[in-house]
């Protein structure tokens, strides 16, 4: 009954370092999303994927890259971290957007860039 | 561009009182979700509203959707402390092939004795 699992849960990076956030879902969902949450801003879409091997940009994609090599995994990469990327990152997946099935969210990754 | 506005952004209530949170959005959509978030936690799905006139109720919370007015409301009846959390509405931008949620900024609710 895992649902959407994000790793790591917490991370502190120095400016300029790189890292990858992993999102894994076991529900066979086609659609996966990466959001960031900043105080007072709600959640904003970074990148998304509509199936294995596909990715697309969302509202705030700059400074991030993504890959979806396997259907169950969606990776978010920061090549050269900046303090502006300090945020809480949420992954979500959906079997069929726009339906009662909705979206399932992971527990989040709290990233601090110093 | 789809935009979602919630108000109020902060709400301090006394236990036992009623109040309504409003969610306005800018373009046509008939798919709207309400989520609850406790501090440091993920988003918990509260309601899924999928058509004009949809009304859902769970305990002291009731959500409705008016697609013609592009408005959803989350009504709180006889608030209790356990309802203290941040509430988000999100509109499903499911047109085309991708689908994704456009979130409001959230309403931070504090229920005081």
> What's chain B's Rg over C-alpha atoms?
14
Contact B33 A103 (CB under 8 A): yes
Cis ω for the linkage preceding A103 (within 30 of 0): no
Q: Are strands A73-78 and A65-67 parallel, antiparallel or unpaired?
A: antiparallel
CA–CA gap between residue B31 and residue B62 (Å, rounded): 16
- Residue B105 is nearest to which of A33, A40, A100, comparing CB atoms? A40
Contact A31 B99 (CB under 8 A): yes
Using a CB-CB cut-off of 8 Å, the residues of chain A touching B25 are none
* Residue A1 pLDDT exceeds 70: no
Q: Is residue A48 less than 8 Å (CB to CB) from chain B?
A: yes
Out of A35, A56, A99, the one facing B98 most closely (by C-beta) is A56
A102 has a chain B CB within 8 A of its CB: yes
Residue by residue, pLDDT tens for chain B (113 residues) are: 789 999 999 999 999 999 999 999 998 777 899 999 999 999 999 999 988 899 999 999 999 999 999 999 999 999 999 999 999 999 987 665 567 889 999 999 999 98
CA distance A15 to chain B (A): 24
Predicted confidence band of residue A61 (pLDDT cuts 50, 70, 90): very high
Contacts of B33 in chain A (CB under 8 A): 102-103
Q: Could you give the CA distance from residue A78 to residue A16 in angstroms, rounded to a whole number?
A: 9
Of B45, B98, B105, the CB nearest to A42: B105
Q: How many helices (H) and strands (E) does chain B have?
A: 0, 11
How far is residue B23's CA from residue B12's CA, in Å, rounded to a whole number?
18
Percent of chain A whose pLDDT exceeds 70 = 99
pLDDT tens per residue across span A74-110? 999 999 999 999 999 999 999 888 787 789 999 999 9
Confidence band of A40 (pLDDT split at 50, 70, 90): confident
B33: nearest Cα among B63, B61, B13? B63
Out of A31, A102, A105, the one facing B42 most closely (by C-beta) is: A105
Q: What pLDDT sits at residue A89?
A: 98
Mean pLDDT, residues A15-40: 96
Distance from CA of A60 to the nearest CA of B (A): 12
Q: How many Å lie between the alpha carbon of A9 and the closest alpha carbon of chain B?
A: 11
């Amino acid at each position: 009954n895992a649902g959407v699992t994000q790793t790591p849960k917490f991370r502190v990076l120095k400016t300029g370092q790189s890292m990858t956030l992993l999102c894994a879902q076991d529900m066979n969902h086609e659609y996966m999303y990466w959001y960031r949450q900043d105080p007072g801003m709600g959640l904003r879409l970074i990148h998304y994927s509509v199936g294995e091997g596909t990715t697309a940009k969302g509202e705030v994609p700059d400074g991030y890259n993504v890959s979806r090599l396997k259907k169950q995994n969606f990776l978010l990469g920061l090549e050269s971290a900046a303090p502006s990327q300090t945020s809480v990152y949420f992954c979500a997946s959906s079997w069929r957007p726009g339906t009662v099935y909705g979206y399932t969210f992971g527990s989040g990754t709290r990233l601090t860039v110093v | 561009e789809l935009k979602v506005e919630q108000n109020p952004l902060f709400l301090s209530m006394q236990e036992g009182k009623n109040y309504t949170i409003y969610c306005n959005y800018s373009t046509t959509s008939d798919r709207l979700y309400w989520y609850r978030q406790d501090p440091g936690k993920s988003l918990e799905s509260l309601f899924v509203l999928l058509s004009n006139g949809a009304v859902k109720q769970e305990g002291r919370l009731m959500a409705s959707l008016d697609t013609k007015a592009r408005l959803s409301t989350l009504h709180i009846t006889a608030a209790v402390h356990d309802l203290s959390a941040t509430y988000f509405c999100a509109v499903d931008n499911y047109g085309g092939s991708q689908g994704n949620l456009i979130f409001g900024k959230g309403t931070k609710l504090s229920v005081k004795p």
